[in-house]
Amino acid sequence: MALFQFPRLPKGIHSGTFALTLAIGIAGGFGASAVHLPLPMLLGPLLAVAAAALARLKPFGRLPQFPSGLRLFFVPIIGVAIGGNFTPEILAEARLWWPSLVALCLFIPTAHVLGYRALKATKRLDPITAFFGTAPGGLVETVLMGEEAGADAAMLTMLQFLRLILTIIVVPLGFTIGIGHAVGSAGGASLVAEHTLDAADWGWILGAAALGLVLGRASRLPAGMITGPIIVSAAMHLSGLSDASPPIWSIMATQIVIGTSLGVRFAGMPLGHMVLALRLAGMNVLISITLAAVFAFALADFVHEPVAAVFLAFAPGGLTEMSLIALSLQMSVIYVTAHHVLRIMLAVAIARAFAGRIVR
């Protein structure tokens, strides 16, 4: 019998490997902060763990591992923080957002068609994989629909995952280049608790997170893990029940967890396939981001939001990740989140509506 045995984790996850993976992620976060990368606690762990995975680093004989279920304990905190920004003034401003919400209904099919035609023109993908691989939202849903339609499941998964990853990396870097200094290093400190939280405050925060998670899953809301807590937290703050918001360290911890969980997705990816997927996903992201910039400049004056906020609302990343970027950049977080909820719904609906034609 071994003198020391690691505690049990979810099946298939080795606790020693998990501990070292998390350590790499934390080190990556603080390293990124030291060199002034944008969103260091998100991008640092992502890049560090991804590099370890691609280098085939095998702590305890296994590639980097991170239990996906751990996100359940952190992502709702982001939802509570976002919900805490709901005020009567914000709701009054929301009536001015309709031009960009309507424009999103044009942006999604346009971005999808342009990306699909570009990837199909390379003749490196079959039409079904190219179609589902360029859907600008709904990673899980589009992968499942693509598999059912006969797409190359491995390539489709890589294309959708890399769409999300590249957007998360490119958008903060773009803001940093445009502004001239690193952005998001404060993790959204001004949008979360600035006072010491007591036991009652923590009760409201954790209660809103737990109830929101249950509500989001039960009602099958898009990205219910975060949208449910947003709704519960918004109701809590608007009704005056509590003004408690999560502390800055919890936001930073969430960034580390999300970055690390994304980085481990690179474990086991065949390098040849990943290079091709990276090139194709890069083409798709370039098209989507360029189109998002065009819409942002055209719409900013109509919705009374900064161009950067409108751009972030249209950028094709994940709802949780893009909301976290908005929170960290202290930028119209409710406006951005509302648009990403609609983006996911539209992307999945359009992919489902035209899937039959592509298959035929």
- Is residue 196 over pLDDT 80? no
Q: Which residues contact 95 (CB under 8 A, 6 or more apart)?
A: none
Domain boundaries, the chain: 84-246+271-359
- Classify the phi-psi angles of 126: left when phi > 0, otherwise alpha if psi is within -120 to 50, otherwise beta: beta
Q: How confident is the model at residue 194 (pLDDT cuts 50, 70, 90)?
A: low
* The three-state (H, E, C) secondary structure of the chain, written as one string: CCCCCCCCCCCCCCHHHHHHHHHHHHHHHHHHHHCCCCCHHHHHHHHHHHHHHHCCCCHHHCCCCCCHHHHHHCHHHHHHHHHCCCCHHHHHHHHHHHHHHHHHHHHHHHHHHHHHHHHHHCCCCCHHHHHHHCCCCCHHHHHHHHHHHCCCHHHHHHHHHHHHHHHHHHHHHHHHHHHCCCCCCCCCHHHCCCCCCCHHHHHHHHHHHHHHHHHHHHCCCCCHHHHHHHHHHHHHHHCCCCCCCCCHHHHHHHHHHHHHHHHHHHCCCCHHHHHHHHHHHHHHHHHHHHHHHHHHHHHHHHHCCCHHHHHHHHCCCCHHHHHHHHHHCCCCHHHHHHHHHHHHHHHHHHHHHHHHHHHC
Distance separating alpha carbons of residues 62 and 57, to the nearest angstrom: 8
pLDDT band at residue 183 under the 50/70/90 scheme:
low
Predicted confidence (pLDDT) at residue 185 exceeds the cutoff of 70: no
What is the mean pLDDT of the segment spanning 124-136? 93
Amino acid at residue number 281:
A
- Give 235-246 pLDDT, tens digit per residue: 998 888 888 889
Task: Give yes or no for a contact between 141 and 319, defined as CB atoms under 8 angstroms apart.
Answer: no
Taking the C-alpha atoms of residue 30 and residue 45, their distance in angstroms, rounded to an integer, is 9
Q: Which of 65, 48, 76, 57 is nearest to 9 (CA)?
A: 65
Range from 8-17, 89-98, 184-193 that averages highest in pLDDT: 89-98
Q: Is the pLDDT of residue 323 over 90?
A: no
Q: What is the pLDDT of residue 7?
A: 47
Report residue 191's pLDDT band, with 50, 70 and 90 as the boundaries. Answer: very low
